Amino acid sequence: MEDSFYLAAGRQLWDASLVTARTLILRSEYDFWSRPGDAELLAEHLVRARSVRSVELAARRTTRTSIARSAGAEVPGGGAGPPRDALIPRRLASRPS
């Protein structure tokens, strides 16, 4: 909890210039913890990293129903909360376990 306070106050907890590996920075468009500027600042501090790539994942509402539909499963009741086996594509759901 103390770390959270220091981070919110802008304190740097570790030295990114010590990182020498290839680095991928991922954050979500609606990330409540980090700000876009945090990812940019981290990339700037990774001066010794072999390579740095920063990606912001677009926000998309994902539900069990949308996952089931994208997997080709039938969603009972139109998608008001499918049972667990509805998340398995039809061709796999019929296999004996």
β-pairing, 52-57 with 23-28? parallel
Running along the chain, 97 residues long, what does each successive block of 10 average in pLDDT?
80 91 89 84 95 84 60 58 45 43
CB of 68 within 8 A of CB of 87?
yes
**In this predicted structure, what is the pLDDT of residue 94?**
40
- Tell whether 97 is covered by a domain: no
Query: Which pLDDT score is estimated for 38?
Result: 87
| Alpha-carbon gap, residue 55 to 35, rounded angstroms | 13
Predicted TM-score (pTM) above 0.75:
no
Residue 35 is assigned to a structural domain of this protein = yes
Can you name the residues that pair with 55 across neighbouring β-strands?
26
Does residue 38 fall inside a structural domain?
A: yes
Q: Domain of residue 47: give its range.
A: 1-83
**Two tokens, residue 1:** 């909890």
**Assigned domain for 7 exists:** yes
